[in-house]
Amino acid sequence: MIAGGITLHEALKASVVLEAEGVFIRVVDIFSVKPLDKEGIIREGLACNGLILVVEDHYENGGIKDSISSILSTKKEIVVDGLGIKEIPRSGTPGELVIRFGIDCKSIVTKVKEMIREWGKK
């Protein structure tokens, strides 16, 4: 999983929940890697059965997922999926907003399980 800022904290919480269920993931803080470490991202993606989930707290178009997908465009054995903002931003507390936009711990856990079911079969 690749995340940054508030979504990094949600991703770390999700990793604890998933580990308790026997699902082990890696979490990469995207803001600690500049420029993007292409070889490192490929290495981590391959080590995680070819599944990468990007969680971002802004619009997906032109965001982190697009950057990661671009890096991995020639690596057909790695699937990149994402959670991000899909509607007009609203006001609210950070806790309310991560839930509203589906980038909270619970949404991340659900998405990881979905990816394992859907893409893990291939």
Q: Which domains does the chain have, with CATH numbers?
A: 2-119 (3.40.50.920)
Predicted local distance difference test score (pLDDT) of residue 15: 98
Predicted local distance difference test score (pLDDT) of residue 120: 64
Q: Are 58 and 83 in contact (CB under 8 A)?
A: no
Tokens of 11: 């991703």
Predicted local distance difference test score (pLDDT) of residue 62: 87
**Amino acid symbol at 59:** Y
Predicted local distance difference test score (pLDDT) of residue 61: 86
Predicted local distance difference test score (pLDDT) of residue 84: 95
**DSSP 8-state symbol, 98:** H
Predicted local distance difference test score (pLDDT) of residue 122: 53
Q: What is the pLDDT along the chain (122 residues), one digit of tens a residue?
A: 999 999 999 999 999 999 999 999 999 999 877 788 899 999 999 999 999 999 999 888 889 999 999 989 999 999 999 999 998 888 999 999 999 999 999 999 999 999 999 886 55
90: left (phi over 0), alpha (psi -120 to 50) or beta: beta
Predicted local distance difference test score (pLDDT) of residue 121: 58
